[in-house]
Amino acid sequence: MSESRRAKATPLPSLSALIPNLFQTLRPTFDGDAPLIMAGSIFIMNDVHIMPMLTYPRPGGLVGPRPVLQGAFGGLALLRKIAESTPKDYYNLLWSQSRNCVVKIGTCKFEDSLDVLLRQFETTKFGNARVYRPGGFILVSLEDVVELLRKRSLEAGMSASEVGSPMVSISPKASIKEAIDKMLTRNIRRLFIDGQGPAFVSDRSIISFMFSGERIYSVRNDPEHWIDARVSDTKYAEAPTVAAGEPLGGAARMIGIQPDACLLTDDGRVVSRWDMVMKPWKAGVLVAGAAGPSHR
């Protein structure tokens, strides 16, 4: 979609109007100076893909059209750091500062239009950002926007198949290292398991496996084999099946609330939260719904 088409779309309401209770939701932050082994453990205990870092570095003023970027601890950044490390370095990696696995997320103000937030998502390629108001900030995510589709505060004139992405698969016999490399190469977060229909392994399920008590305990005596395992050793999730022609509002009500949740259309396409929100927005068909602003 061209910039002109997005510019011609009707501006969306402000975040404060659409999600007035956003700042009442507690979400984790993390100290970038703390060790990675601690960050990974906290990460898997919270239903988030990103944890803003309190010590890396503080953002500047919200001035001009360019986004102010803020450091955050993220799953794909963690997997990339592991992929770049050799097995003999795993022990030191786990005890290194968590800021070594930083990603950059955007920022916006609570009174900004939802368009401003989605533009941050598009720029950083992450569906998370920090929202500021006097007195503090909060993390906002694509799940918050999908909730607006569920409640009909937003509407998107496209079907599930129209926004879906191709399915990428992997053998259950593949190594964890092979799965990580495939995710990073393809820049995706889910790999569907060969011959197992809607079952998939995600970046989050791999991290949950690697930071489980059993795997972390093994690092004490055998750190070089920390990730020596197969995809089949991880816990799979399953994508609910949705009709290809299902409107996105209905699809939003079918997708789960787990961080790695997605849908699988009956014509074999994967629908993530990113697909549900960003593709209609870029096409200029994401609009305020008949239900109006949220009053959660």
Q: Tens of pLDDT along the chain (296 residues)?
A: 444 455 556 889 999 999 999 998 777 777 888 888 888 887 777 666 778 877 655 554 444 445 577 888 888 888 999 999 999 999 899 899 888 888 888 899 999 999 999 999 999 898 999 999 998 888 899 999 999 999 999 999 999 999 999 999 999 999 999 999 999 999 899 999 999 999 999 998 999 899 888 888 888 888 888 999 999 999 999 999 999 999 999 999 999 888 889 999 999 999 999 999 999 999 999 999 877 665 44
Please tell me the predicted confidence (pLDDT) of residue 74. Answer: 81
**Does the structural domain 160-288 have CATH classification 3.90.1140.10?**
no
For residues 132 and 289, what is the distance between their CA atoms, to the nearest angstrom? Answer: 25
Tokens 């592991």 — which residue? 82
Nearest to 72, CA basis, from 91, 48, 88: 48
For residues 126 and 141, what is the distance between their CA atoms, to the nearest angstrom? Answer: 9
190-193, strands of its sheet edge to edge: 169-170, 190-193, 199-202, 237-238
Please tell me the predicted confidence (pLDDT) of residue 8. Answer: 56
pTM: 0.87
CA atoms within 13 A on the CB side of 140: 31
CATH architecture designation of domain 3-152? Roll (3.10)
* CATH 3.10.580.10 intervals, the chain: 3-152, 160-288
Please tell me the predicted confidence (pLDDT) of residue 232. Answer: 96
Please tell me the predicted confidence (pLDDT) of residue 296. Answer: 42
